[in-house]
Structure 1
Amino acid sequence: MKKNINLQSCIIATALGSMLFTASCKKDFLNVPPQAQQPSVTFWKTQDDALKGVNAMYANLRSWDNVAFNAIAIESTGSDEADKGSTPTDATFFNLFDQFTVTSTQGSLQGFWTGQYQNINLCNQVLDNVPNITMDAALKSRFLAEAKFIRAYSYFRLVRAYGNVPLRLNVPKDNTEYNIRQSDKANVYAQIEKDLTEAATVLPQSYGAADLGRATRGAALGLKAKAAMYQKKWADVLALTNQVMVLGYDLFSDYEKLFRTQNENNVESLFEVQAELLQSNGDASNSQYSQVQGVAGVMGWGFNTPSAELASAYESGDPRRDATILFRGETTPQGDLVPTTVPNERYNQKSYVPFNTRVSGFNEGAQQNFRVLRFADILLMNAEAANELGNPTQALTSLNRVRRRARGNNANILPDVTTTDQTALRNAIWKERQVELAMENDRYFDVIRQGRALQVFGPKGWKANKNEVWPIPQTEIDLSGGLLKQNPGY
C-alpha cells in the first residue's frame, strides 16, 4: 500500500528524485534509476534535465494512486459492472463506494486526489521551468505539449470525480500561493480544452520506437472530444472525432489479443499508461494495476471483479464477454486454468497477464499497460455525437464498425444496428459502450452523464443531487482552513 500525501505536500515536493528516468530504446524511458537524487537547486538547467522532468510525469501515471485501489474505488466500484471482489472481509472500504455510503474522511478519496495533483505538480514544474532552458526549440515545444496533455488528463479525472476543484496552473512561488479556491467545473473543463488544443497543435502524429507511449496529436484530440462529450458539446465531439478518424488509427483485429502485453501501443491505442517489469530495476517495476485485479491467490489480489450484471449484458455469442471476463474454472487462450477454488466467480480479463510471467519479488502483472483511450471509444463518441446532431447514417457507420470487429468472421452474431430512430439508436450506442469499454473505468461516469444514474445505480443507494460527484477529501478542506467547500449532501 502507498502512503497518502496531502495536496500541500504534493505542491511543495519537487517529486523528481526516484521518478527520473531516461529514454534510449523502447520503454527504456520507464527504467527509473533507483538512487537518482538530484537537488532541485541544480536542476532545470539542461535539455537532459527537461527530459527527466517530462519522463517523471509519465512515471507517476502508473503510481498506486493513479491505477490501483484508489483509482478503482473512485472510477469503477460504484458502477453496475464491477463488484468489490476478493473475500468479504478484505478491504471492506470498497463497500462504501459500492453502496454510496462513503464519507469525506475515507482514504481513497484523498489518495486519488493526491495522485492527480502529483501529476499536475510534475506537469507545472515542466511548464514553469523548461521554457527557460537553452535547448532544441522543437523538442522544447513538444515537451511543453506533453505536459499540457497529462495535466489535462489529470484534471479530466478530477472534474469527473469531484466536480469543482482547485485549478492550479503553476508551481507556487511562496506560502501565499499554496491555498487557492475551487474553480467551477465549467472553468476546469475550459482549461482542459485549452491545454489539449495547444497540445494538439504541437504533438506529433506518431513516434519512433524509442518514444512509444508518449502523448500524440491523436491522444490530445481524442481526450478533448471526451471532455466535450461530458459537456454535451456534440458539434465539437463530432468534429474532433472526425479529425482523429483520419489520423491512421484502426480497430485491432482481435479484441481479446488487444489487451495482451505483446500488443501494447498498437494501431487502436491513442494513449496508454506505460508499464514494464524490469528485472534489473524493481523500483521502476511498480505498477499494481494488474496485481490488484488478478486472479486471487494465483496472479493477484482479486479486486474489482466483473459483476453478474455485466456478464448478462452481452448479446448472445458476443466474444467480448469471454475476452473481458475470466470465469472461475475456465482455461484462458494463453493456456492458464483459473482454479475452481478461487474466491470469486469472475475476474477482469483486460488486466490479465499470463500466470507464467510471474517473477518472484515483483508485483504480479507489473508489465501490463493501462489503456486510457482507444479508437473504439473514438468511434462510439462519433456515433453518439452524430446521432445527437440528427445524422443517423454516420452514427450507424461508426457504431457498426465497432460491432463488426467484435463479431469477426461470424456472420451469425452481432448483426448491424439499422434503426434510425434517435432514441433507439442512442440506447444502442450506450449499450455498445457498456460492452465494448467494460472494465475500463468509464461505465460509472458514462451512466451519470447520460442522466440514468438514479435508474441504474439507485438500487445500490445512489442519490440524485449528491452522488453525481464524490466528496472532497476532508483533509484538503481542513488544510485550506475552510476555503475549499464540500460537495452538497456530504
Structure 2
Amino acid sequence: MKNSKNLFMRKALVLGLIASTISIQSCKKSFLDVNPAQNTAATQFFKTQDDATKAVNAMYANLHEWNNIAFAPIAVESMGSDDVEKGSTASDATFFNDYHNFTITAGDAQLGGFWKGQYQTINFANQIITNVPGISMDESLKARYVAEAKFIRAYEFFRLVRAFGDVPLRITLPKDASEYNLPRTPKDQVWAQIEKDLTDAAAVLPQSYSAVDIGHVTKGAALTMHAKVAMYLKKWTDVNTYTTAVMGMGYSLYPDYEQMFRTTHKNNQESIFEIQCNLIPNNPPASNSQYSQVQGVRGVTGGGWGFNVPSPELAAAYETGDPRRDATIIFRGETTPEGDKIPATGDNPMYNQKSYVPFAQFVSGFNEGCQQNKIVLRYADVLLMNAEANNELGNSGAALPLLEQVRARARGVNAGVLPKVTTTDQAALRTAIYNERRFEFAMEFERYFDVIRQGRATAVFGSRGWKTGKNEVWPIPQTEIDLSGGALTQNPGY
C-alpha cells in the first residue's frame, strides 16, 4: 500500500517547477501519453508552443496523481458519507474510520495529501496562466490553453473550499520568499474567484474537440461546473441559466447506466468532463492512476485493495427494482455483467461497481484498473441541478420533466419500477430530488458534500458524531500550519 507523504514541499510548489509530469514526447501524440520522469525548471521553459502543450499535458496528468484520485480524496470527499464504509480488512488503513466517525484530527496524513494534491495542480494551472500569454504561438490555441487552466484551477479550488472553508487563494506566482506563505482567504472571496475563472473559461473554450484532444475541458464543462458552484452558493437563478445553456449543447443520457462506467464507453454522450486515465503500453509509470485499484474487488487477480465500499444503508435505501442498485454495487458471490465471478466469501460483502474494470483487462506490471477514467461531470447532474433550481425558484412544473428523464433512463425497459414523481409540493419534490441525486450519483464522491450543502448533515450523519459548527469542514492539515510559520490558522473545534 502506498503511503501518502506528510511533508508539503511549499517552496518547490510555489516556485512552480514544471516537474514530474511534463512530456518530452512529440506533441502529435495524445495528451494522455505522459512521461513522468522528465523535469524542466520553469526558468528554462515556456519558450515555445510545444512547451505550452507540455505544460497543459502536465496539468491534466496531475489530476490522476495519488493525492488527487486515491486515498486522500476517498478520505476527504467520500468517507464521511452514509453511503460508504472503510472496506478492506479491519486492521488496514484504520484512519478512514476516523473520517467516517468524525474523530479525525489535524495530524492525519490524508488531509495533508489532499491539500498538497490540489495545490500542486493549481500551481500547474498558475504557471500556464502566467507564462503562456508571453509565448509567440497560435493565438487561438494560446487563449484556449489559458482557459483550460482557469477551469482546472477553479475545479481544484472548489474541492478545497468545500473541504476546508477558508483556504489560501494562490492565483499568482510568488515574486520572492516573502510571498511563499499566504494566510487563509475568506471563503466568499475564494468562491468569487472560482466563479470568475469559470466565466472566463466558458467565454473561450470550444464545445467539442477532435479525437486527439478528447478529455480537454469544454465550454459545457465550464458551464456545468459553474452551475455546481452556484448550487453550493444557492444562486438558483444562475444554476438554472447555466444548466439550461448546457442542455442545448447536444449532450444526452447514455442509455445503459451500468455500461456508462466501463472503460469501453469512456467519454460518451453523457460525459461532460472525465479525468483521463490510460494503460500506456510499456510505460507503467505513466499509467499511474490508482482510482480503480484502491476500490477494486479484494482478493482476486485484476481486482484491487477493496477500500471505500458501499454501506448496508445504501444497499437498503434504493427503491424496489431500481436497476441502479446492481449497477452501483458489486455483491459478494455475484457474476458481473462482464462475466467476472466474485468470490462468495471475502473481507467485504460489497464493492464499488462504478470504479470496476473487468478482470480480463488487467495487465501484469500495471496498477489494476489504471485505464478507468474518473467521471467528474455528467449530463444527469445537469438535469438534476436544473430540476432542483426550478423547484427552489417555485417552478415545480418545470422540474418534474427533468427528474423524469433521469428516472426513465434508470427504469429502462422495465416500466413496472420507478414510478413517475408527480408531486408539485415544493418540500416533497425537494426530497424526491435529493433522493434521486443519492441514487444516481452513489459512490461518485457527491453524497457527503451534497448532504452538507442541503443543510441535512446533523440529521443524516449525526448518529456517527457529526456536529454542527464544526464538521461542515475538515481540519486544516497541521503540517501546513507548521510550515506556514503561523500564517495559517485552524478551523474551529479542531
TM-score of the aligned structures, taking structure 2 as reference length: 0.97
Say which SS state the counterpart of residue 204 (structure 2) adopts: coil
Q: How far did residue 4 of structure 1 move?
A: 4.0
Q: Which residue of 2 aligns with 1:261?
A: 263
Q: Which residue of 2 aligns with 1:20?
A: 23
Does the CA contact (< 8 Å) of 1:84 and 1:304 recur in 2? yes
Q: How far did residue 106 of structure 1 move?
A: 0.5
Q: How far did residue 34 of structure 1 move?
A: 4.6
Q: Which residue of 2 aligns with 1:278?
A: 280
Matches within 5 A, 1:157-168: 157-168=159-170
Q: How far did residue 477 of structure 1 move?
A: 1.1
- 2:464 aligned to 460, 466, 471, which one? 460
Q: Does the alignment pair 1:488 with 2:482?
A: no
Say which SS state the counterpart of residue 427 (structure 2) adopts: helix
Tell me the distance in 2 between the aligned counterparts of 1:66 and 1:17: 15
Tell me the distance in 2 between the aligned counterparts of 1:22 and 1:156: 32
- Whichever residue aligns with residue 478 of structure 1, its letter is D
Say which SS state the counterpart of residue 30 (structure 1) adopts: coil
Q: Which residue of 1 aligns with 2:359?
A: 355
Tell me the distance in 2 between the aligned counterparts of 1:19 and 1:109: 26
Tell me the distance in 1 between the aligned counterparts of 2:9 and 2:195: 24
Q: Does the alignment pair 1:370 with 2:374?
A: yes
Tell me the distance in 2 between the aligned counterparts of 1:452 and 1:357: 41
Q: Does the alignment pair 1:156 with 2:158?
A: yes
Q: How far did residue 38 of structure 1 move?
A: 3.0
Q: How far did residue 18 of structure 1 move?
A: 3.7
Q: Does the alignment pair 1:427 with 2:437?
A: no
Q: How far did residue 170 of structure 1 move?
A: 1.1
Query: Measured at CA, do residues 271 and 67 of structure 1 come closer, stay the same or move farther in structure 2, by a change above 3 Å?
Result: same
Say which SS state the counterpart of residue 204 (structure 1) adopts: coil
Q: How far did residue 13 of structure 1 move?
A: 4.5
After superposition, the C-alpha distances for 1:326-384 in whole angstroms (9 at most, x for unaligned) are 00000000000010122100000000000111111110000000000110011110000
Tell me the distance in 1 between the aligned counterparts of 2:140 and 2:252: 28
Tell me the distance in 1 between the aligned counterparts of 2:41 and 2:25: 17
Q: Which residue of 2 aligns with 1:400?
A: 404
Tell me the distance in 2 between the aligned counterparts of 1:65 and 1:479: 19
Matches within 5 A, 1:432-443: 432-443=436-447
Q: Which residue of 1 aligns with 2:326?
A: 322
- 2:349 aligned to 339, 345, 364, which one? 345
After superposition, the C-alpha distances for 1:109-161 in whole angstroms (9 at most, x for unaligned) are 00000000001000000011001100000000000000000000000000010
Does the CA contact (< 8 Å) of 2:295 and 2:352 recur in 1? yes
Tell me the distance in 2 between the aligned counterparts of 1:243 and 1:113: 33
Does the CA contact (< 8 Å) of 1:25 and 1:209 recur in 2? no
Root mean square deviation, CA, Å: 1.2
Query: Measured at CA, do residues 343 and 34 of structure 1 come closer, stay the same or move farther in structure 2, by a change above 3 Å?
Result: same
TM-score of the aligned structures, taking structure 1 as reference length: 0.98
Q: How far did residue 25 of structure 1 move?
A: 6.8
* Overall identity of the aligned pairs, in %: 62
Q: Which residue of 2 aligns with 1:391?
A: 395
Tell me the distance in 2 between the aligned counterparts of 1:35 and 1:486: 36
Q: Which residue of 1 aligns with 2:220?
A: 218
After superposition, the C-alpha distances for 1:302-345 in whole angstroms (9 at most, x for unaligned) are 00000011101111111000000000000000000010122100
After superposition, the C-alpha distances for 1:210-248 in whole angstroms (9 at most, x for unaligned) are 000000000000000000100111111011100110011
- 1:412 aligned to 394, 413, 416, which one? 416
Does the CA contact (< 8 Å) of 2:36 and 2:286 recur in 1? yes
Q: Which residue of 2 aligns with 1:46?
A: 48
Q: Which residue of 2 aligns with 1:122?
A: 124
- 2:14 aligned to 11, 16, 21, which one? 11
Tell me the distance in 2 between the aligned counterparts of 1:66 and 1:171: 22
Tell me the distance in 2 between the aligned counterparts of 1:184 and 1:139: 34
Tell me the distance in 2 between the aligned counterparts of 1:479 and 1:38: 25
Q: Which residue of 2 aligns with 1:175?
A: 177
- 2:317 aligned to 289, 313, 318, which one? 313
Say which SS state the counterpart of residue 287 (structure 1) adopts: coil
- Whichever residue aligns with residue 331 of structure 2, its letter is F
- 1:335 aligned to 335, 339, 345, which one? 339
Does the CA contact (< 8 Å) of 2:18 and 2:40 recur in 1? no
Say which SS state the counterpart of residue 377 (structure 2) adopts: strand
- Whichever residue aligns with residue 258 of structure 1, its letter is M
Q: Which moved more, 1:169-178 or 1:268-277?
A: 169-178
- Whichever residue aligns with residue 16 of structure 1, its letter is A
Structure 1: 5+ residue stretches without partners? none
Does the CA contact (< 8 Å) of 1:268 and 1:376 recur in 2? yes
- Whichever residue aligns with residue 364 of structure 1, its letter is E
Query: Measured at CA, do residues 454 and 34 of structure 1 come closer, stay the same or move farther in structure 2, by a change above 3 Å?
Result: closer
Q: How far did residue 24 of structure 1 move?
A: 5.8
Tell me the distance in 2 between the aligned counterparts of 1:311 and 1:20: 43
- Whichever residue aligns with residue 13 of structure 2, its letter is C
Q: Does the alignment pair 1:61 with 2:63?
A: yes
Tell me the distance in 2 between the aligned counterparts of 1:291 and 1:134: 42
Q: How far did residue 23 of structure 1 move?
A: 7.1
Query: Measured at CA, do residues 17 and 106 of structure 1 come closer, stay the same or move farther in structure 2, by a change above 3 Å?
Result: closer
